[in-house]
């Protein structure tokens, strides 16, 4: 499968998580950044999308630290994408 097809599939999966909060967190990040992600990051994102929503939500919300195998630069990018230190407009 080529990277463009992977990106389209990732977009659909990011917006159809099953938990609305995860749709928003993952979907917005993917919409904003997926085009710039290299193939390795796409694979990492696909693995993240395979994980249970409840676990990933706890990591993204800061309720829990992710286990070492999932504490990746990509996960930190997603978390940072949703953190605002000041006004966003």
Query: Does residue 7 contact residue 34 with C-beta atoms inside 8 Å?
Result: yes
Per-residue pLDDT of the chain (89 residues; tens, 9 = 90+): 799 999 999 999 999 998 999 999 999 999 999 999 999 999 999 999 999 999 999 999 999 999 999 999 999 999 999 887 666 55
pTM, entire model: 0.89
Residue 53's nearest CA partner among 83, 14, 11 is 14
The CATH classification number of 3-81 equals 1.10.150.250
In the chain, where the domains are located: 3-81
Question: According to the model, what pLDDT value does residue 15 have?
Answer: 97
Contact 42, 1 (CB under 8 A): no
């Amino acid at each position: 499968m080529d990277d463009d097809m992977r990106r389209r599939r990732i977009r659909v999966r990011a917006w159809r998580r099953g938990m609305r909060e995860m749709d928003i967190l993952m979907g917005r990040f993917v919409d904003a950044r997926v085009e710039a992600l290299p193939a390795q990051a796409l694979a990492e994102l696909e693995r993240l999308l395979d994980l249970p929503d409840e676990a990933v939500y706890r990591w993204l919300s800061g309720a829990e630290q992710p286990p070492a195998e999932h504490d990746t630069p990509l996960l930190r990018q997603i978390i940072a994408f949703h953190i605002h230190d000041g006004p966003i407009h």
